[in-house]
Amino acid sequence: MSPSAVPKKRTLAEELSLLRQRQRDRRRRSATAAGAGLAVIVGGVWPLLGVGLQPGGHAPMPICAIGSTALRADVDADGRPDEIRGLNREGAGSVVFRRGGDLTTVHVDDARGFWPKLRGAPKEDMATRGTFGDFDGDGYLDLALFYSQRDEGDSPRDSMLVHEVRYGPLARDLSSDRTGPIRIGRSAFVYGVWTTDTDHDGRAELQVSQSEGDGMAARHVGRQRGDGISVSDDEADLYAGADWPEPELGRLGFPACGARQ
């Protein structure tokens, strides 16, 4: 081997510089892999958290009733009418969003969001109740939402993880940038919720049927107060849970839809 073919021996300084360069390269590769993993995690978790969906900016459109258990309204303020269906006294309705020929259905039970679902996972007999109405009178539909635990036998459980109002316009996952508390005196199970406008002032009243224990339920009325809804401690009605009255839903708070609406 000729002298020119013999590899040149690196100095200590050169060896240290090369070692540092290799360490930097490894860190960059690790950071790139971690970033890709984080992107996958974020892409998978963010939809569960309800982050990123926003309503449109269209002005309020007329709200009207279809029969006694459905409403037509522009829930997400995109200028297209949507339908709120299944407005029964149990508060288990759904919204059918329209975009061109596509229909997307979101149930009230899906509106709780990631963290309430996570907190409620270890508990048995949890139930979501929700109803729609214009509680603050701004022309957009709002959502009153409860997530509470059923009675254990005849004894109420003191477990209500969600009691909030989401002010419209709502996003397509029924989330909102503006929420407020539903101030209610007890955390017992909510059998059902619905809305009325008995004084015809353009602001919905929240009707709440809540367990009193021993198989009894009481109806309480809530109204917009300040930053949320305050539910009265006074009992409007008291009845056996199986015999509670069936209200004529839908028409109570809004006029019937015309042929062209």
**pLDDT tens column, 154-164:** 899 889 999 99
The reported pTM is 0.77
- The average pLDDT across 165-193 equals 95
Q: What is the per-residue pLDDT for 13?
A: 62
Q: At residue 85, does pLDDT exceed 70?
A: yes
pLDDT, mean of residues 70-93: 91
Please tell me which residue, 260 or 232, carries the higher pLDDT value.
232
Give residue 41's pLDDT band: very low, low, confident or very high (50, 70, 90).
Answer: very low
What Cα–Cα distance (Å) separates residue 184 from each residue in 111, 164, 230?
A: 20, 10, 7
pLDDT of res. 36: 43
Q: Residue 207: in which H helix or E strand, if any?
A: strand 205-213
Number of neighbours of residue 9 by Cβ within 10 angstroms: 7
Q: Residue 97: how many CB atoms within 10 A of its CB?
A: 20
Question: 91 pairs with which residues across the strands?
Answer: none
Q: Residue 149 above 90 pLDDT?
A: yes
Q: Which of 85-99, 141-155, 231-245 has the lowest mean pLDDT?
A: 231-245
Does 47 score more than 50 pLDDT? no
- Average pLDDT score over residue span 121-150: 92
Mean pLDDT of 68-83: 93
Q: Are 196 and 205 in contact (CB under 8 A)?
A: yes
Range with top average pLDDT, 51-55, 71-75, 214-218:
71-75
